[in-house]
Amino acid sequence: MAQPLAISMGEPAGIGPDLVLQLFAQRQQEALPPFCVFGAPDFLRARAARLGLDITVEETTPAEASDVFKRALPVVPVEGLVPDQPGQISPLSGQAVIRAIEQAVAAVLRGECRGLVTAPIHKAALYDAGFRHPGHTEFLAELCAAGGTPKLPVMMLAHGPLRAVPVTIHVPIKDVPGLLTKDLIVETASAVYHDLQNRFGIAEPRIGVAGLNPHAGEGGAIGREDMEIVGPAVAEMRVQGIDAVGPFPADTLFYPPYWRQYDAVIAMYHDQALIPIKTVAFEDAVNVTLGLPIVRTSPDHGTAFDLAGTGKASPRSFLAAIRLAHSMTEASKP
């Protein structure tokens, strides 16, 4: 039996559990690969009933999950009380949300599960439970490092062959130029290149790099960073054997005939990477974390408290996240 994907249940007040339940109900039509949910079985039963979904929740282990998946939603139970209160964060559930992530990561690291799809969390709801990480991804990087120094986790937004990676992420625009260094750009591109080869099965990845400034700085007329930082970073990538070109003006790089020349585009900041991908694929884009020892994807949306428990949230991004995690594990080299 193939190993299942691990899904962490995410914030119970949000839409994550709803989408997992909906997708489980559609597993045959959608030909989904087997997965198991790390979470609270009673809570998932209550949420399924609330959504009017006739789903049997079966407590199990990763080893049995792929078999269980045919008849019931396999849930690897985590300790903790989780109330079914859509839209209302509860101090009760924080511990279970964190344990679900920890145990799912551990199962993937042990090889019991093939990869991880995380449902969205709500950071503020986890502070009482001791969550002190800048975000979900940094927490995963720490868990994967098992006490050592975490590697730089790299965020990629993917929609089919359109893959965009911001070098800086959740920082103010005013801080972006100061944070961009040649080393950071090269390290990011290097993680992307490595994972395109080893997780996406692309033998010779081509990387396009966007400039920081309008028109990629126009030879220094519009800022010097593209000449002094981004350009030298691209040169260094090439020295390291990475087939990278740029910096290109970001506004033309995402025109389909241009981005299609690259397996990934490295952008310098959040909106530069996310605007093009959300403009064309808002509901279907997947958030992928590169640079980890495990495959990890997540839907590209938040907890959407206003839609939780209603059944009205779109499962398309979560569906794409499951499919991509599966195909990344299929393509992964041992």
Q: Which residues contact 31 (CB under 8 A, 6 or more apart)?
A: none
- Candidate list 274, 292, 313, 325; residue touching a second copy; CB under 8 A: 274
To 5 degrees, how large is the angle CA 170–CA 175–CA 176? 70
Mode of pairing for the β-strands spanning 264-267 and 286-290: unpaired
- Cβ-based nearer residue to a second copy, 87 or 177: 177
What is the CB neighbour count within 10 angstroms for residue 214? 14
Question: How far is 284 from 59, CA to CA, in rounded Å?
Answer: 30
My answer on whether omega of the bond before 161 falls inside 30° of 0, hence cis, is no
- Candidate list 254, 304, 318, 326; residue touching a second copy; CB under 8 A: 254
- Candidate list 82, 165, 176, 295; residue touching a second copy; CB under 8 A: 176
- Cβ-based nearer residue to a second copy, 138 or 271: 271
Tokens of 83: 């109330």
Is 89 a residue that touches a second copy (CB under 8 A)?
Answer: no
Residues between 207 and 246 with contacts to a second copy, criterion CB under 8 A? 212-215, 217-218, 222-225
- Candidate list 128, 187, 236, 251; residue touching a second copy; CB under 8 A: 251
Candidate segments 33-41, 268-276, 287-295, 316-324, binder of a second copy by CB under 8 A: 268-276
Give the torsion through C-alpha atoms of 256, 259, 263, 268, to 10 deg: -140
- Candidate list 110, 132, 174, 333; residue touching a second copy; CB under 8 A: 174
| Rounded least distance, CB 218 to a second copy, Å | 8
Question: How far is 219 from 198, CA to CA, in rounded Å?
Answer: 36
Give the torsion through C-alpha atoms of 126, 303, 15, 326, to 10 deg: -90
The CA-to-CA distance between both ends of the chain, in Å, stands at 18
- Cβ-based nearer residue to a second copy, 236 or 251: 251
Candidate segments 44-52, 111-119, 170-178, 323-331, binder of a second copy by CB under 8 A: 170-178
Instruction: Return the beta strands (E) in 145-263 as ranges.
Output: 154-159, 162-166, 206-210, 243-248
| Rounded least distance, CB 308 to a second copy, Å | 19
Please give the size of the binding site for a second copy, defined by CB under 8 A: 37
For residue 159, give the nearest of 332, 326, 320, 328 by alpha carbon.
320
| Rounded least distance, CB 230 to a second copy, Å | 11
Candidate segments 9-17, 74-82, 110-118, 174-182, binder of a second copy by CB under 8 A: 174-182
| Rounded least distance, CB 142 to a second copy, Å | 20
List interacting residues with a second copy (CB under 8 A).
169-177, 212-215, 217-218, 222-225, 250-252, 254-257, 269-272, 274-276, 278-280, 282
